[in-house]
Amino acid sequence: MRIAENVHLDGVLDRIKVPFLVTHGSKDSQIPLKWAYRTYEQLVNSPKRELKIFTEREGGVQHASFDNSINAAHYIADWVAQTLGGRTS
């Protein structure tokens, strides 16, 4: 975890000028939820930024949504399709 503290995108996220989706599980035991909020808050120049926190009700609360990865995959795919003007399921 000491090394993980220095692995971040602080200082560069404000340069992102494209849509950006941040996803995180509400009970992620590897990456603190506060880091997802920190990332989202720094995306100040993204024309469409979104933070999606997966809850116990919908599943996908663990790291990389491994407890319900299909739910997260569908959400991300739909977000990308909507953002790029495609169709969703």
Scan for tokens 């969703």, then name that residue.
Answer: 88
Q: Ramachandran region of residue 50, left (φ > 0), alpha (ψ -120 to 50) or beta?
A: beta
- What DSSP state is assigned to residue 65? G
Please give the tally of structural domains in the chain: 1
The verdict on residue 27 lying in a domain is: yes
The verdict on residue 88 lying in a domain is: no
> pLDDT at position 88, please?
67
List per-block mean pLDDT (blocks of 10 residues) for the chain, which spans 89 residues: 81 97 93 94 97 91 84 93 83
Dihedral over alpha carbons 79, 44, 22, 52 (to 10 degrees) = -70
The verdict on residue 22 lying in a domain is: yes
Residue 45 structural domain: 4-83
The verdict on residue 57 lying in a domain is: yes
> pLDDT at position 40, please?
98
> pLDDT at position 36, please?
95
